[in-house]
Amino acid sequence: MNNSVMLLAQGLAKSFYQNATEVPVLKGVNLQLAVGEQVAVVGRSGSGKSSLLHLLAGLDSADSGSVHIDGVDLLAADSNGRARIRREKMGFVYQQHHLLGEFSAQENVAIPQRLLGIDELSARQAAQDMLALVGLEERLSHLPSALSGGERQRVAVARALINKPQVVLADEPTGSLDRASAELLMDLLSNLSRAQGTSFVVVTHDVSMLQRFDRVESLDDGILQPLSSLAE
């Protein structure tokens, strides 16, 4: 495989079953992401964008198809193997942020560092620095329940970025942010991409963000294809 390919998804298919009725969501999705490439994924609500990101991160299993991360077959690995690849190479921002409610913002962001074996003091310092980058230096000890929706989203992004992952998968990371905060957060992702060669896939409904990306892909009827025109 070409070394410059960071993420390669081939023929991803996934159906869900509702009362024994098959609901096909992904029908053979192909996606190739080069090192440092920034791709946006758009598509109507329910088109399968979150489902696709979950498959790309190995958080759910596909019915068929494959995902390679930096040349490693993600879906062929067992759950421990997948967790290790995620820990070492990937950052994931859930649509519903999934912060741990009993931990402070700083502790939530420090968790991925602790999982890598980094000592507590260093992890806490790194988390503080990361939270400062997303404008939350005044919210370190807040529990998620004491943060606004946009603040929670920024904590989730800080958590996804703290280990300097090679690939970031983010599900509507700017969904609850005002324009200025959204721009700031996207700048952060772009700078990271430039400085560290991070690749990322961002699901977004925000049309004004699309020109920032190297490529825009649209998910429609289970198939991912390049969005033909941004002009209309």
Ligand X SMILES: Nc1ncnc2c1ncn2[C@@H]1O[C@H](COP(=O)(O)OP(=O)(O)OP(=O)(O)O)[C@@H](O)[C@H]1O
By C-beta, is 43 or 112 nearer to ligand X? 43
Q: Which stretch binds ligand X (CB under 6 A): 48-56, 80-88, 134-142, 188-196?
A: 48-56
12 touching ligand X, by CB under 6 A = no
Query: Binding marks (x or -) toward ligand X, 88..107, rule CB under 6 A?
Result: -------x------------
Q: Which stretch binds ligand X (CB under 6 A): 28-36, 43-51, 146-154, 178-186?
A: 43-51
Positive/negative CA dihedral, 175, 177, 179, 182: negative
23 beta partners: 16
16 binds, among ligand X, Mg ion, none (CB under 5 to 8 A by kind): ligand X
49 touching ligand X, by CB under 6 A = yes
Q: What are phi and psi of 169, to 5 degrees?
A: -115, 120
Coil vs helix vs strand at 91: strand
58 touching ligand X, by CB under 6 A = no
By C-beta, is 140 or 210 nearer to Mg ion? 210
Q: How far is CA 85 from the centre of its chain?
A: 14
Contact present, 49 and 205 (Cβ < 8 Å): no
The minimum distance between CB 129 and Mg ion, in angstroms, equals 30
* Residues that bind Mg ion in the complex, under the rule CB under 5 A: 49-50, 95
215 beta partners: 39
Coil vs helix vs strand at 114: helix
Contact present, 172 and 40 (Cβ < 8 Å): no
Q: What is the DSSP letter of 113?
A: H
51 touching ligand X, by CB under 6 A = yes
Task: Catalog residues that contact ligand X under the rule CB under 6 A.
Answer: 16, 18, 23, 25, 43, 45-51, 95
